[in-house]
Structure 1
Amino acid sequence: MMSWLLAAFLVAHGLAHLAVWLPPAPADTEHAAPFAPDHSAVLAATRVPPTTIHRTAVWLAVAAAVAYVVAGLAVALGSGWTVPLVATAAALLGLALKILFFHPWLSLGILFDAAVLVFAVGSWPVALT
């Protein structure tokens, strides 16, 4: 039961990356997100072109989502040794994305990524893999 909950969490967290970073910005400001998901103060300060910044956000979001979904499927299928490896990659991609494009609204996601990283590196509980 716990492994299915973990699998569902990993898949849902991965898909959340797509929901935040992939939709185009609405034309009207009334329905705009509370932050611009493709705005990076770090990359803008280094004079990276806006199109490259946007592409970086999309690629990191897609990579993190794919890695999280694969980690969730690995948990669901009981693929023991692959879970920590893929979950570590997913958490690192998610953290890189949220640090480069930081906004306070992403704090919960940072905590989720950090928790996944701690558990993956510190070895998952045996019952969950």
Structure 2
Amino acid sequence: MTTALVSAFLFVHGLLHLAVWLPHGAAEQPFDPRHSWVLAAAGAPRARSVDRAAIGLASVTAMLYVIAGASAAAQSSGWTTAALLAAASGLLLKALWFDPWLTLGVLLDVGVIAAVLASWPGALF
């Protein structure tokens, strides 16, 4: 049961990155997921390459979380490495394109890192 919950969490959290960062036709979003406060503060012009970078990093994060979830479901020890890489990638993404709406995502990524480093849940180690 624990394995299934951890796997489902990793899958869902990963796929949410795509749902947030991929362009879609929604008229209203609470924030612009492709606006980088870091790049704006550095004076970089808003460009399609910045949008592509955000989408690319979100895609990498999603892929790593899905790999971590699949590895956890298969009870492979490699899930921890994939989960750590996914969480680090997610934190980088959220740091560069931060908005207060992403605070929960930051906490979830930090939680993944803390759980892996604490060898929790024990059933997966």
Same fold? TM cut 0.5: yes
Q: Which residue of the other structure, out of 98, 116, 122, is the alignment partner of 2:112?
A: 116
1:1-129 superposed matches below 5 A:
1-24=1-24, 26=26, 31-50=27-46, 51-80=48-77, 82-129=78-125
- In 1, Cα distance between the equivalents of 2:122 and 2:55? 34
Unaligned runs of 5+ residues in structure 1 are: none
The letter for the 2-side match of 1:126 is G
The letter for the 1-side match of 2:64 is A
Displacement of 1:56 in angstroms is 1.3
SS at match of 2:108: helix
Unaligned runs of 5+ residues in structure 2 are: none
The letter for the 1-side match of 2:66 is V
- Runs of 4+ that moved beyond 3 A: none
Identity %: 47
1:17-69 Cα shifts (integer Å, max 9, x gaps):
0000002354xxxx220100000110122233422211111011000000000
- TM-score by length of structure 1 reads 0.89
SS at match of 1:79: coil
Displacement of 1:88 in angstroms is 0.3
Q: State the number of aligned residues.
A: 124
- After superposition, the CA RMSD in angstroms is 1.4
Displacement of 1:120 in angstroms is 1.8
